[in-house]
Amino acid sequence: MAEQQLKSYSIPDYLAHEEQSEEKHEYEAGQIKAMSRGTINHGRIGTNMTVALSNSLGKSDCEALHNDIRVWIETASSFVYPDAMVVCGEIETAEQDEHSITNPTLIVEVISEYTEAYDRGDKLHKYALLPSLKEYILIDQSKPVVDTFYREASGYWEVRPVIGLDKVHLPEQHRQQHQDGGYLPECAGA
């Protein structure tokens, strides 16, 4: 039996498709993939995290952005939509799309039973290809568990789980840029 060939889309095709679509899609190496719909908890947690990040950054040169902003990962030929992110310094955008960011320093994903394998696997590996990324936070929407992946000075990634607590610790570079000691109070709570 012959294998079915998937249609391959160019980046301009994907961007045109996204502009016309009412739903968000991710792009990877020619493939367009519909994103799963969120739940009420997912929406609450994502909003709480974006607001907490924004509030914690104060007058620093960092900015928190929500889930309508795409990230372009050139080495993975991928466009993805994180649930929240922080960019420090000037925002850099993709050559192909002025609305897709290329230099996030912190990315947040709210995970569900449907997205957990992707967010902990392929998506983590794609995000790790971004030279600017220092921290990747996974927040479980169904239980009080937050896993924070930090890029160490050596370039290796370390994970720190937080179970049952209501605080997420920012990496050193972000702690130095605001006055409240570097904690995001109750940002993960629903």
Given this model, what pLDDT does residue 71 score?
Answer: 98
Residue partners of 54: CB distance under 8 A and separation at least 6: 63, 64
Given this model, what pLDDT does residue 165 score?
Answer: 58
**CATH for 38-71+80-185 (3.90.1570.10, 1.10.20.10, 3.40.50.1010, 3.20.20.70):** 3.90.1570.10
3-state helix/strand/coil string of 21-72: CCCCEEEECCEEEECCCCCHHHHHHHHHHHHHHHHHHCCCCEEEEECCCEEE
Q: Per mean pLDDT, which range of 14-28, 30-44, 103-117 is the poorest?
A: 30-44
Given this model, what pLDDT does residue 93 score?
Answer: 97
Q: Would you place residue 179 in the very low, low, confident or very high pLDDT band (cuts 50, 70, 90)?
A: very low
> Rounded to an integer, what distance in angstroms lies between the CA atom of residue 116 and that of residue 101?
23
> Rounded to an integer, what distance in angstroms lies between the CA atom of residue 117 and that of residue 122?
8
Encode pLDDT of 91-117 as tens digits: 999 999 999 999 999 999 999 888 899
Q: Is the pLDDT of residue 175 over 50?
A: no
Q: Is the pLDDT of residue 58 over 80?
A: yes
Count how many residues are written for the chain. Answer: 190
Q: Is the pLDDT of residue 190 over 60?
A: no
Mean per-residue pLDDT for 59-82? 94
